[in-house]
Amino acid sequence: MDSVGDGNAGGRGHDLLFRKVPSPVDNNDFAGLLRAQMPKQSVVQILDQALFTQSTSALLINSRNELVASSSRESIVDPSTIIQALEGMTANAGDDAFKTVTLNDEKTLIGTVPIENTDWRFILVVPQHDIVKIAQKSRNQMLVIFLFVAAMTFPLAFWVSASGTIRIRKLTKNMRKVGVDNFKPNLDPKNNDEIGELTMTFNRMITRIDDLAADKYQLGLDVKNMELKALQAQINPHFLYNTLDMANWLAMKYNADDIRVLITSLSDFYKLSLSNGEDFISVRNEIEHVAAYVRIQNMRFRDKIDLLVDVPEELLEYRTLKLLLQPLVENAILHGIMEKITQTGTIAIRGRLDGDTIELVVEDDGIGMDDDTVRGILDGTLKKKIGGYGMRNIHNRLELIFGYPFGLTVESRIGEGTKATVRIPVQGTVMEAEKRVEL
């Protein structure tokens, strides 16, 4: 058991701590008495460190509720009154205990904490109004911090919100302009956020719409030009045939065989060109149409053009889009063979059936073209008038009617000649088409 005595005898201001030492031989006896001395001021300084308000008091008491030491600050409550209020709180010395009591007409919180390996307890006495003040101070500090943070973040939030709103308004304004034929994007995404992504998508969409509008406009111009050319080329077939027939009889009357051959070829040429308004004719008729055209040109150029035809008999009755081969042959004569020094040459027409595809080839031994010229003819970027319109027209017609992979391909070498290949899907024979019409 520990005992505390006042060590002030001698004026040194010490506390004495006594402890009986049990006998190692007999547990009921004591071997001696342990005496320890400590400076009282050191204990007081430790207790002072526990004070966190002006009115707080700190005490040390033993198991007999005797005061061991107290803080140096003068307490507003007498220590004996505090010890008296502790009755009933120290029954279980191993537990912390807290109790609210009224001391000097003021509610006070008393807390007790046991000190390990001793029978001492640490007592802290805090008036309730001090706790309220601390809570109010904490609340005020939190309020100040909140107001400061709000003052800092509100302008930032307002700026972020206003920035997004302004960008959305600009985007909306440009969207409205699209309705009045403005297809030129002029918005800068600025940031890679959601609004920036939306702006970039809108710009891409507007650019695409602008391209489509330009294509549509150009297509409209092409259609108008074709309609004008078709109107200019309209000829009454019966009037034309009757006139040519009359000229043929006059040639026979005067034994003008050359004129008769020319008129007959011209009549065949126009008859096959018109083909009663049909868009599809047989491969045989398409080749006869080319042969009539070559006969006319040979009369003009004095038989300087040889035409070779190598098309299987079974392919001749298949249907093909009309006016596919004649423009290619015309281009081969006027811009291939006639550009040679000798102005003589050969045009070969070959055909074959490749599965569900008909392949027709027109090859000449003219002056040929370089790759840039070929590309310019097919994509329409070539501005020179070298007869490329007919080839480009064929390619566009095939793509429009049949789609990819059908169309026209051109291979050419300068000084060697040009090879044009037409690929179309099998459309059946003319006889099969006539049977379907009868049904």
* Beta-strand pair 67-70/57-61: antiparallel
- One domain for residues 433 and 312: yes
CATH number of the domain within which 32 lies: 3.30.450.30
Tell me how many domains the chain contains. 3
CATH number of the domain within which 346 lies: 3.30.565.10
Which residue in 337, 394, 395, 389 sits closest to 366, CA to CA? 337
Q: Assess if residue 240 is contained within a domain.
A: no
Phi then psi for residue 21, to 5 deg, are -105, 115
What is the structure's pLDDT at 187?
Answer: 65
What is the structure's pLDDT at 382?
Answer: 73
3-state secondary structure 80-139: HHHHHHCCCCCCCCCCCEEEEEEECCEEEEEEEEECCCCCCEEEEEEEHHHHHHHHHHHH
Q: Assess if residue 270 is contained within a domain.
A: no
Q: What is the largest CA-CA distance in the chain?
A: 171
CA 350, CA 309: separation in Å to the nearest integer? 6
Which residue in 338, 286, 277, 343 sits closest to 317, CA to CA? 286
- One domain for residues 426 and 285: yes
What is the structure's pLDDT at 306?
Answer: 94
What is the structure's pLDDT at 185?
Answer: 60
Q: Assess if residue 213 is contained within a domain.
A: yes
Question: Last residue of some domain: 196, 212, 233?
Answer: 233
What is the structure's pLDDT at 328?
Answer: 93
Residue numbers of the domain that contains 225: 178-233
- Within its chain, how far is the Cα of 126 from the centroid? 66
Q: Assess if residue 379 is contained within a domain.
A: yes
What is the structure's pLDDT at 277?
Answer: 66
List of residues 6+ apart from 275 with CB closer than 8 A: 281, 285, 322
DSSP 154-170: HHHHHHHHHHHHHHHHH
CA 83, CA 63: separation in Å to the nearest integer? 11
Other Cβ atoms closer than 10 A to 351: 21
Q: Assess if residue 255 is contained within a domain.
A: no
What is the structure's pLDDT at 10?
Answer: 39
- One domain for residues 225 and 299: no
CA 77, CA 103: separation in Å to the nearest integer? 7
CA 423, CA 320: separation in Å to the nearest integer? 10
What is the structure's pLDDT at 95?
Answer: 56
Q: Assess if residue 57 is contained within a domain.
A: yes
What is the structure's pLDDT at 432?
Answer: 63
- One domain for residues 71 and 217: no
- One domain for residues 300 and 428: yes
Q: Assess if residue 48 is contained within a domain.
A: yes
- One domain for residues 287 and 229: no
Which pTM does this prediction carry? 0.48
CA 168, CA 58: separation in Å to the nearest integer? 66
- One domain for residues 315 and 406: yes
- One domain for residues 298 and 402: yes
Q: What count of Cα atoms within 13 Å lies in the side-chain half-sphere of residue 292? A: 18
What are the tens digits of pLDDT across the range 217-244?
788 777 777 766 655 555 556 667 777 7
User: Which residues of the chain have a pLDDT value below 70?
Assistant: 1-19, 35-36, 72-79, 85-96, 164, 178-191, 227-239, 275-277, 383-389, 430-439
What is the structure's pLDDT at 189?
Answer: 65
- One domain for residues 421 and 308: yes
Question: Last residue of some domain: 163, 198, 233?
Answer: 233
Which residue in 417, 338, 336, 331 sits closest to 378, CA to CA? 331
CA 292, CA 262: separation in Å to the nearest integer? 9
CA 8, CA 279: separation in Å to the nearest integer? 133
What distances in angstroms separate CA 75 from CA 44, 79, 334, 399, one per listed residue?
13, 8, 125, 106
What is the structure's pLDDT at 439?
Answer: 47
CA 384, CA 433: separation in Å to the nearest integer? 41
- One domain for residues 347 and 431: yes
CA 334, CA 127: separation in Å to the nearest integer? 118
Q: Per the structure block, which two tokens stand in for 29?
A: 């006896």
- One domain for residues 401 and 291: yes
- One domain for residues 314 and 434: yes
Q: Per the structure block, which two tokens stand in for 333?
A: 């004569």
What is the structure's pLDDT at 11?
Answer: 41
Question: Last residue of some domain: 103, 133, 163?
Answer: 133
Q: Assess if residue 69 is contained within a domain.
A: yes
